[in-house]
Amino acid sequence: MALGLLVAVAVLGLASCGGGQTGRASGMSAAARMPVAVNPPAFGELHPVAWRGPGPAAFPVHGIDVARYQSAIDWPRAREAGVSFAFIKATEGGDRLDPLFERNWREAGAAGVPRGAYHFFYFCRPAEEQAAWFIRNVPRERGALPPVLDLEWNPHSPTCTFRPRPEVVRAEALRFLDILERHYGQRPIIYTDPGFFRENDLMQLAGEEVWLRSTARTPEEAYGVRGWTFWQYSGTGTVPGIAGPVDLNTFGGSEADWRAWLARRTI
C-alpha cells in the first residue's frame, strides 16, 4: 500500500489538513466529564530547533508522554500550562510495569487531562503474552485515549537485542493490536521512529493510525508523509509542573479536529 494512502487513512477526519478493572469499563474519569479545553502551550525547549516548514507552533493542541523518569508530576499545573493530552508508559514486554503508571494514570485523569497508556514492545516474547500483560495492568476506562504500541529497536537491552524480519515484526504488531482492540474497543495507535519505520516497511500496515517521532525534522521531511495524528517533536522539552526534560508532542489538526477525534476515538 502506498505510504500516502496509509497516512491519509490514519488521519481521516483531521485537517488533511490496575488489574481489578480488567475486562470491563471502569468509571468515567474526570477528563471524560470535563469539557475539552485547549490552553496555549507554555513549554520550553532545552535544545531549540530551527524548523524548515511548519513546525510544532503551527498546531494548537500539544501534549506530553511520560514514564518513571519524570518522577512526580503536578498534573493540574501541567494542564494549565497547555498539556492537552498525555500518553503514559504502562508496560514493557510481558512482565515489566512502569512503577509510576498507576499514579500518573490516576492523577492525570483527576486533573482532567485526556490520557492513554503505551506499551514498549519486546521482540523476545510473543505478542499474545505482551497483550495479556498490558490488559492485566491498564484499566478499560471511559474517556481514555486509545492504547499505544511503541515499536522501536532497543539496542541497549540487557536481555533482548533480537531483530526479527520485517514481516515478522508487522505480523506480531497486528496480533497485539487486534487483541487490544477486542478488549478495549479501541484500535491502538502505533508509535515509531524513522529508522524502525523504514527498516520494517511499516507503510504496509494499511490504515493503522500513527504517532511519529522526529525531533530535528518535520514528519514530512523525516518520513515522506503528508499527514499524521501525533508528532513527538522533542525529547528535551520543559513544562511547568514537571521537573526535568520531557517529551513534547502535538496533534495534527485544529482544536475542532481534536474535539472530533476525541469523540470518535475515546470510549
Q: Mind telling me the catalytic residues? A: 65, 152
- Strand bridging mode 25-26 / 140-141: parallel
Which residues fall within 8 angstroms of residue 263, CB to CB, at 6 or more apart? none
Alpha-carbon span 26 to 20, nearest angstrom? 10
Distance CA 145, CA 188 (A): 9
Q: Are 184 and 117 in contact (CB under 8 A)?
A: no
- Do 6 and 207 form a contact (C-beta atoms < 8 A)? yes
Q: What are 144's strand-pairing partners?
A: none
3-state class (DSSP) for residue 194: helix
CA atoms of 163 and 77, how far apart (whole Å): 41
Burial of 263 (0-12, 13-18, 19+ CB in 10 A): exposed
Contact at 8 Å (CB) between 257 and 229? no
Output the nine-digit C-alpha cell for 210.
500513527
